[in-house]
Amino acid sequence: MKLFLKIWRQKDTKSKGSIVNYEIDGISPDMSFLEMMDVLNEKIILNGGDPVAFDHDCREGICGSCSMFINGEPHGPDRYVTTCQLHMRKFKDGDTIYIEPFRAKSFPVIKDLVVDRSSFDRIQQAGGYISVNTSGNPQDANAIPIEKESADKAFDAATCIGCGACVASCKNSSAMLFVSAKVSQFSYLPQGKVESTDRVLNMVKQMDEEGFGNCTNTGACHVECPKGISLDYITRMNSEYLKANIKK
């Protein structure tokens, strides 16, 4: 396959970036998107250029590192995959592919396609935990039976890999899907309910301080989420947040 790549190049956070054109040939449809990028970078390096920087690590769709905005969509045209699991068979010979970083004020570009998503970490530091001592001797794991349905919902929320595709796809750069998944993951469980009021208040406050946009329920985040996290969690967090405000 021969491809025409239009890649966002940006030296560092302060510099202004722009789209640079590359041509690449001999791409196998069985390659993953990142392997195609490897081939490109190898070519750039051997020509004495600066390879395209991009985040990647596990390359099996779970670490949430990869963060490319491909042809107008986070993680590209396929569904329920991250960029590393997107395969070139989803493209045709001769295609032009735009590759940009995830863009949001809260995700500043570090270099090329690498962005700083530490805002997600700070949101979780604001309350994304259950205050239990790790070195203690907690009660037996089966002491509190948990309804399977709640446990499953908590799990579904917890499948979030924190990649930021929700923010990237949202026309408003809202982080509501991420935050609501994190809030719900705990509030569905009896262990997490105890401090759910403070948790939702603090996490939403931090989310706002980070400069994410407002949710307008377009649903783009849910469609683009590699783990298919449901929009329902947003509605649920809205309700939880309102209740928490009434309580406190």
Binders in 105-124 for other proteins, by CB under 8 A: 105-106, 109-111, 114, 116-118, 120-121, 124
224 binds other proteins (CB under 8 A): yes
- Cβ 55 to other proteins shortest distance, Å: 6
- Cβ 39 to other proteins shortest distance, Å: 6
- Cβ 245 to other proteins shortest distance, Å: 4
- Cβ 60 to other proteins shortest distance, Å: 5
Q: Based on CB atoms, which residue is closest to other proteins, 23 or 150?
A: 150
Q: Based on CB atoms, which residue is closest to other proteins, 94 or 104?
A: 104
Choose, by CB under 8 A, the member of 132, 183, 197, 247 that binds other proteins.
132
- Cβ 193 to other proteins shortest distance, Å: 10
State the Cα–Cα distance between residues 18 and 222, nearest whole angstrom: 29
Cα distance from N-terminal residue to C-terminal residue, the chain: 60
* Per-residue 3-state assignment (H helix, E strand, C coil) for 42-98: HHHHHCCCCCCCCCCCCCCCCCCCCCEEECCEECCCCCCCCHHHCEHHHCCCCCEEE
- Residue in the block written with tokens 């001769």: 94
For residues 219 and 231, the answer to whether their CB atoms sit within 8 Å is: yes
The residues in 164-223 that bind other proteins, with binding defined as CB under 8 A, are 169, 171-174, 185-186, 189, 191-192, 201, 204-205, 207-208, 211-220, 223
Q: Based on CB atoms, which residue is closest to other proteins, 50 or 93?
A: 50
Reported for 116-123, long-range contacts at CB under 8 A and 24+ positions apart, including other chains, are 116/13, 117/67, 117/162, 117/164, 119/175, 119/210, 119/211, 119/212, 120/162, 120/164, 120/175, 120/178, 122/206, 122/210, 123/175, 123/178, 123/179, 123/182, 123/203, 123/206, 123/207, 123/210
How many chain residues touch other proteins (CB under 8 A)? 129
Show Cβ contacts of residue 147 under 8 Å, excluding neighbours closer than 6 positions.
Answer: none
- Cβ 46 to other proteins shortest distance, Å: 7
The residues in 54-93 that bind other proteins, with binding defined as CB under 8 A, are 55-65, 69, 71-73, 77-78, 80-81, 85, 87, 89
Using CB under 8 A as the criterion, what x/- string covers residues 4-43 for binding other proteins?
--x-x--xx----x-x--------x-xxx-xx--xx--x-
